[in-house]
Structure 1
Amino acid sequence: MPTQAPPPILRQISTRAVMKVLLEQGPTSRAELAKATGFSKQTTSEVIRTLEESGYVRMKGIDSGKVGSPAVIYEVADEAGYALGIDAGASTIRAALVTLSSKIAGELTLPSDPRGGRELVAQLGAVKRRLLAETGIAPSALNVVSLAMPGSVDPGTGAISHAYAVPEFDRFDVFKELQETFQCPLLMENDINAAAVGEYWNGDAKGAESLAFLSIGTGIGIGMLINGQLWRGATGAAGEIAYLPIGSDPSSPLCPERGALELAIGAPAIIHRYRMMGGGENVSMKAIFDRCAAGERAAVATVEESARIASLAVLSVLALFDPAEIVIGGNIGRRPEMSQRIIRFLPQFTHRKIKLSVSSLGARATMMGAVALGLNHMHDSLFNLQSLPASLGLPGGREPSVDFHDRKASNKG
């Protein structure tokens, strides 16, 4: 069957420009669209008519409150497309189904299957089916699944490498099996990269010229954005700062797998440090932070030393990449007992002014980044220049609004 020729380039350009305004600014009149795009009223009307006929735009109402003739207001038809953003962490899955204009149609949170592997793949498929069923959205309306998780996809085997907290994902073609499970276009991104995108899109660092998101949790890593684009490096391994020779012996036999920095301030390392400080056995990270807040000597000493090492990591990021802003996140990094001490230590090591903040999105940063990447893909595939590919860029940064479902869920298939 012959491939259908794309619309003329000028029509693609005008369609793209009109949709960009509607997606970023919300409901808009024809006159305002013409002014924002620089097109004539006739061209704007023709584009609107084509988009209405295609089902991507609809009339919202009439604004009669201004001087002159009443203005017809147009808006994006939300039901014309959906993206599913998923954060598949080692312990928790967070997922949000969003409309074409970024409204959250449904959201859920549930524990990850601890077995990992194909059991986790099946669980992710169940998450997709459940959200579609609860929101009454047909599977055919789902344009893309955007999945963020630890590690990176090996382009040769489809396996996930460096995902030590997710069992079995390095043993089979995860990407292929996920595609078969989701039955729609699939994007996969590293979880920390996705969190950086989330902060850039809707966090306190929204629209930063350059941004480093430093995640401190079970593992350590950074996600970097430069001019709104993720920086992945030559092999996709950019940001693996766990391997910086800071905080522990880089010649340790464990370093090639985990990295010296992670062996110093990852969650297992902090728990071990607390035990060495005389804090006792089998104590969780949460308990250590709670005891630190209460002034327990061993806990305070443990967090102080961990924060000192973490501040050296921040200094390394600053020296290597010179980002305009650094955001600290992760289950450990965003704790005030940790983040406030990191901020306090930095002036001891540098006189440079650092714009550093704690993640405002918290545990939702990675999911929101996955959503943003999914929306970007959907918008590009529907409205971008087919003859001259160039990304529309991330969604316009309007705060996603909740539509008709917003819930947390237990671990049910």
Structure 2
Amino acid sequence: MKRREFKHINETIYEEKMDNGLQVFLLSKPEMVKTYGIFTTNYGSIDQTFTPLGKDEEVTVPEGIAHFLEHKLFEKEDRDVFQDFTKLGASANAFTSFTKTAYLFSATSHIYENVKTLVDFVQDPYFSEESVEKEKGIISQEIRMYDDQPDWRGFFGTIGSLYHKHPVKIDIAGTVDSIQNITKDDLYTCYETFYHPSNMVLFIAGNIDAEEMMAYVRENQNNKTFPEAPEINRRFPREPVSAFKSEDAIEMAVSTPKAYVGMKEKVKDLSGEELLRSELFADMLLDYYFSTSGKYYDELYQGGLIDDSFHFETEWEREFGFTILGGDSRDPEAFLKRLKTMMHTLRKESIGDEDFARMKRKKIGEFMRALNSLEFIANQYTHYHMLGINLFDVLPVIESLKKEEMEAFIENWIQESQMTTFQVKPKQ
């Protein structure tokens, strides 16, 4: 077991790579009452085309299968795993993103039993044709529920307008039609390829003894047999740099229109710290100009173009990146026109030394406050680890950012050809 100290934030991480390839990270916080564990596989909704374990030819599986698999792992032949956690006084959950599937629990007691339950149920799949067919009805209802949510449709509508072919444009849960094609064999194919321990990370944070917990996990893994670690070959379609559409819209039963500007980020050839620095610059600039205390926010708000639903987000991943700004607007055409003008103006504006220093201080403060959350540490440490970044190195990276770097980033950041607008309009 390796012990890594991060003195600048007074944290110590214990890590070990198990013989089967599973990467385990432990953060001992004796002052905490609860313990949080998350077991994550480097496999999400975009991983649709790949070469299965032990095969020579690639396959393309139905859209939404990663999310479907997440649901099915909780159901065993004789029970529902959620009940196992409930009996142990734990709260359990799971989620699927574009790039990851994660299973988690939070508890204040029976920690070792909960860790065993978490690891064992994920590493012991059970799928039957009957249960798969039953699940299709459940997930179809979930998909229809999200299809009725204007914010969700606006989010995926914007991404769908940005991307030509990349599967990030597909809803994480798939479609009602696509999940009908999922079979038991498909689930086992995806599971055996992507749920090998070598493609997974276990992070446990909280009131634990690191030495004892690592020995416990090590023994658990040594008692199981896995095939040799596969080399996972994923394939993604070639994606143009430009946005798929310059604008698009749908009609829904909304009283107030929703409007969004989306921007396709250039992530090709970015990895590790380069990717992190770009993400930090994008986030800091969005906050500086468009947060409630931002330079442009008040003009949009006082002009009646936005309300308090206005928000922004930027996501930079291993195969894609996007930035989205928007919300409700009673004059969506005027709002989108003004917002795009503001974004293009960023390239011409100069950020003063004191403003830049203030941006960095704010980012550092947000990061340090977030470290008070076990969930934040465990989730983000896992996320960044899969991108080749250490979460606890983020602080020194923020501190090392230079204004000249940000200016160079801005020059290449906002391009009209990589932008789209999307509206959710009231039904006529």
Q: Please tell me the TM-score bracket, short chain as reference.
A: under 0.3
TM-score (norm 2): 0.24
Q: TM-score, normalised by structure 1?
A: 0.25
